[in-house]
A and B are shown apart, each in its own frame.
Chain A
């Protein structure tokens, strides 16, 4: 008898079995009268002997490596090159910070937070594993989760409606926002050296975020189209995330950019970061309720009135994000004793507003005129500036960029600060388009 050839009689036994019967036998699902060779039971025993989940420690180690690799690869893949208009600002930012500002929000924030919190969060994120959210809700919850480091499928691939997930997901977002604050606190508390250019770049980041958030908030009013409302909610959560991200300091290992001679703004101890930490803590505390409301509101049916309510909630969130970014910028000024800038250095060209018939304005206009690096393309007149506050900070000098009184196109895709508005109101990303 040859093992490689088999015994002819046994081979005949096998040959006599149909393919479908063999499939059942090998799957261990054959009825007893079909299992003349005992193959079905053997298959069951073989599975029982070898198939088992990895040990817990092994699984955790594997998952951590897999998740980190996946996040790194995704971030690398989605990292667009900064357009020329952004080059000045980009050069001022640490590399890791540049990724946050100039790439798709989702990938970058996932990569940033992943090391600390995502693995545990993913283990409990079973709702999204099944893609168990209604399509519109999936999109918004994806953003809420993206804010705190979890990604969810986008709504075009959602299949099962399960609205009961909203409270649980809101609670999870709540917990992980706290984790984000903790991460910022730990990072900011590390010994670091921040030169004036870095601090100014942080200010510029905050200025951009606030400006865009202001436009989003302005877009929210009277918006009754569900798609546009969801798009707005989508972007509001992303900009809220970025408002927090502006505050993360440069890591100690990186080489500091020295402050120019005769300027203030070099901080070499952890103490200088305290105002920023405080600002972020307050910032997140302010964002939480809006995010929770947005997530829960998006779970409901999306008729025009619900869309209006959702848009309103998104507007509130964007407004809170705008204030949040402003507070972070002010904290940067306080922490680094920066002078009041006459003009903000290296500000990139901001999105020009499309010509939509929704004239609204919520953000405060500057007390003093500041150079707008973007050529005006809108024919709409600027809204008159309000009176300057009694105690002006640098933040009050930040213009409501892009014309100030005109909203962005809520239905347009958003790529972060990597493109510009075209002449007919379309958003033109400068890098490869990656939905987040």
Chain B
């Protein structure tokens, strides 16, 4: 839930080290940050999300802007941490670690519902995975982080035109994969 008109107060308090402000910021942004990191293929999204927010804490003194800019700024940090992780992984390849089901915090209880949901998740994962990395980054930032084209351009360090082109191609790839899978809406 966006902070809205209370954002300046939250930001000012966060700059003063207020615990409640940081808790609020974390609770507001962590689902999307974590979702972005998961969907973008982070090997340890939980730890990486923690690093992202510690980066936000350390650099908040340099941030200037409104809530929308703040959100995109957080994703700039998330994107950079993700790139760092990928570089580390390239230098020191690791065996992929299976997802620990004990850390899955999604609500459960209905087996049939969960099965259907998992199928949906798998299908979604396959669809988004058909995009090339740049297209996937754009779509994830647009859909999961809910950033505008301009904000995505800022996160990725590209021009808006380039992001727009990647978005169009990504959407086309998604549509094609959905069609291939026979997904009807």
Q: Tell me, yes or no, whether A binds B.
A: yes
A282 touches B (CB below 8 Å): no
Known: A38-B185, A45-B120, A49-B120. A4 touches B169 (CB 8 A): yes
Cα–Cα distance between A154 and B11 once the two chains are bound (Å)? 11
Looking at the complex, which one of A27, A40, A48, A122 makes contact with B20 (CB distance below 8 Å)? A122
Cα–Cα distance between A72 and B169 once the two chains are bound (Å)? 46
Q: How far is the CB of B138 from chain A (nearest CB, A)?
A: 10
Whether B175 and A128, one on each chain, are in contact in the complex, defined by CB atoms closer than 8 angstroms, is no
B162 touches A (CB below 8 Å): no
Interface centre among B15, B35, B140 (most CB of A within 10 A): B35
Looking at the complex, which one of A6, A43, A47, A63 makes contact with B176 (CB distance below 8 Å)? A6
Known: A22-B167, A45-B124. A151 touches B21 (CB 8 A): yes
Tally of A interface residues using CB under 8 Å: 79
Which chain A residues border B17 with CB–CB below 8 Å? 70-71, 73-75, 107, 110-111, 151
Known: A11-B172, A15-B168, A49-B120. A66 touches B32 (CB 8 A): no
Q: Is the interface of A mostly helix, strand, loop or mixed?
A: helix
Interface on B for A, CB 8 Å cutoff? 5-6, 8-10, 12-24, 26-27, 30-32, 34-36, 38-39, 46, 49-50, 53-54, 57-58, 61, 103-106, 117, 120-121, 123-125, 127-128, 130-132, 135, 139-140, 142-144, 146, 148-149, 164, 167-169, 171-176, 178, 183-185
A164 touches B (CB below 8 Å): no
Looking at the complex, which one of B46, B106, B130, B176 makes contact with A58 (CB distance below 8 Å)? B46
Which chain A residues border B148 with CB–CB below 8 Å? 23
Whether B26 and A49, one on each chain, are in contact in the complex, defined by CB atoms closer than 8 angstroms, is no
A125 touches B (CB below 8 Å): yes
Known: A3-B131, A51-B35, A110-B19. A159 touches B176 (CB 8 A): no
Q: How far is the CB of A160 from chain B (nearest CB, A)?
A: 8
Whether A43 and B22, one on each chain, are in contact in the complex, defined by CB atoms closer than 8 angstroms, is no
Looking at the complex, which one of B50, B61, B117, B132 makes contact with A61 (CB distance below 8 Å)? B50
Looking at the complex, which one of B5, B124, B130 makes contact with A49 (CB distance below 8 Å)? B124
Interface residues of A in 167-226 (CB under 8 A from B): none
